[in-house]
Each structure stands twice: as C-alpha cells, then as structure tokens.
C-alpha cells in the first residue's frame, strides 16, 4: 500500500493522509465506505474523528467486533476491517469516477489479502460500485432504503448493505445490528474458501 500515492494530483493538494484500510487482517467482516471524511483524514484512522465514525464503532462494539469502547482511539478491532473505495479526502466534493478507478487496485488488494466472508457496503454509491464485481445484479437495481440491513447473496461473498452513516438514525442503526445478530451470527455464513474457521462470539 502506497502511503504517498500521487495518482490523483487534485487530491494530493487537499489531503493530510492516504487512508488505507485498518483492522484485523484475518477479518470475516469488511466494512467499506465511499471516501474518507475530514475527521478520518486528520486522525489518520479510517472513520476516526467524526460522529459518523463513532456510529460505526458503536455498531462494531455491539456486534463484538472490537475489543475497545466506541470512544477509544484508535480502536482495537477483532474480526473486522474498515476501508474505503477511495483513499483521500477532498473537503468540497465527492470522488470522481477517475479517482474511484485509480483506487480500485488498493481495494482489490485488501480483499485478496483479507479474504473476508461478508462485505458491508456503506451507502448506495458504495453498494452500486461493488455490485458489478461481487453480485449478479445490475448496480441500478439496488436502492439502499430497500436493502439496508438485509443479506444479499454475492459472488463468493455475502453483502449486508448499510445506509450512509450520516443518514443512520438510531432505528436504522439498531435494525442493522439486530439483522447481523439474528440472521448472520446464528448460522454458518462462511463460504468454502479454504480458510480456517474463525469464530469470535459477540
């Protein structure tokens, strides 16, 4: 992972940090959002420093995927890895298509390295970006309000979409937590990938 990536000159001028993924490299759960926000860029840790990041850490804590409290920084994750489609923060706009393409090799490398069982795309744009590669459905067929906190069968993975953290009210947050506890942790969700069984009870 290039910590001084120069692929996108416009982002080199606005970022503080290149935000590659963070967490348990043997994780079965991979959480993916679209791009780093200001707090993550300043803290140097994915999802760090902003309310949306604390929301995600609360979810991980409730699912038993972190050994630390939601307020601790940096978090100590277990069986979870957090990353982005793009790696650099821009304070005024969303990433461009060219920037998403430039960062694809980083995400692909993380997925190959971690070999997760479940992908958690955060937000509709992230879900649609992953749909072509990891599901059998057309990207435009996904509406996040319909598939939030459900399980989508994918190509070698299961996907559990989540609304954007900025839109995640308490009810939607608890709906996601309850789906994982009731419909994922209660069954054997692992695919046949040659990995050793790793189970950490929530």
DSSP 52-116: HHHHHHHHHHHTT-BSS-TT-SS--BSSEEEEESS----SSSPPPHHHHHHHHHHHHHHHHHH--
Q: Is residue 147 part of a domain?
A: yes
Q: How confident is the model at residue 185 (pLDDT cuts 50, 70, 90)?
A: very high
Q: Is residue 189 part of a domain?
A: no
Domain that holds residue 160: 9-183
Please indicate, yes or no, whether the overall pTM of this predicted structure exceeds 0.85.
Answer: yes
CB 25, CB 63: distance < 8 Å: no
Residue 20 zone, left/alpha/beta (φ > 0; ψ -120 to 50; rest):
beta
Q: Is residue 69 part of a domain?
A: yes
Average pLDDT of the segment spanning 4-14: 92
pLDDT the model gives residue 164: 95
Inform me whether the pLDDT recorded for 202 exceeds 50: no
Q: Which of 40-44, 47-51, 119-123, 168-172 has the lowest mean pLDDT?
A: 47-51
Inform me whether the pLDDT recorded for 194 exceeds 70: no
Q: Which of 32-36, 42-46, 118-122, 185-189 has the lowest mean pLDDT?
A: 185-189
Q: Is residue 193 part of a domain?
A: no
Q: Is residue 109 part of a domain?
A: yes
Instruction: Say how far apart CA 195 and CA 71 lie, in whole Å.
Output: 32
Per-residue pLDDT of 55-97, as tens digits, reads 999 999 999 999 888 878 889 999 999 999 999 999 999 999 9
> How many domains does one find in the chain?
1
Average pLDDT of the segment spanning 124-140: 91
Q: Is residue 48 part of a domain?
A: yes
Per-residue pLDDT of 145-172, as tens digits, reads 999 999 999 888 899 999 999 999 999 9
Q: Is residue 77 part of a domain?
A: yes
DSSP 9-65: HHHHTT-S-----EE-TT-SEEEEESS--HHHHHHSSTT-SSHHHHHHHHHHHHTT-
Helix 51-62 with 170-183: angle, nearest 10 deg: 30
Distances from the Cα of 148 to the Cαs of 17, 56, 107, 125, 143, in angstroms? 30, 15, 22, 13, 8
CATH number of 82's domain: 3.40.470.10
Average pLDDT of the segment spanning 33-55: 90
pLDDT the model gives residue 191: 62
Inform me whether the pLDDT recorded for 187 exceeds 80: yes
Q: Is residue 131 part of a domain?
A: yes
Distances from the Cα of 159 to the Cαs of 14, 99, 133, 189, in angstroms? 32, 24, 12, 11
pLDDT the model gives residue 132: 86
């Amino acid at each position: 992972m290039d910590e001084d990536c120069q692929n996108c000159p416009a982002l080199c001028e606005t970022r503080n940090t290149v935000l590659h993924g963070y967490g348990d490299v043997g994780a079965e759960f991979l959480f993916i959002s679209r791009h780093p926000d200001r707090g993550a860029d300043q803290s140097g840790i994915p999802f760090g420093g902003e309310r949306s990041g604390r929301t995600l850490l609360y979810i991980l804590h409730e699912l038993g995927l972190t050994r630390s409290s939601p307020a601790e920084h940096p978090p100590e994750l277990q069986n979870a890895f957090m990353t982005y489609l793009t790696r650099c923060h821009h304070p005024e706009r969303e990433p461009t298509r060219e920037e998403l393409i430039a960062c694809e090799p980083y995400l692909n490398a993380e997925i190959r390295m971690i070999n997760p069982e479940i992908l958690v795309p955060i937000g509709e744009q992230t879900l649609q970006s992953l749909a072509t590669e990891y599901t059998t459905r057309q990207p435009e067929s996904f509406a996040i309000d319909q598939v939030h906190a459900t399980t989508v069968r994918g190509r070698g993975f299961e996907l559990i979409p989540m609304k954007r953290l900025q839109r995640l009210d308490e009810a939607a947050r608890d709906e996601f937590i309850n789906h994982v506890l009731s419909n994922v942790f209660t069954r054997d969700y692992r695919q046949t990938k040659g990995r050793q069984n790793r189970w950490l009870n929530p």
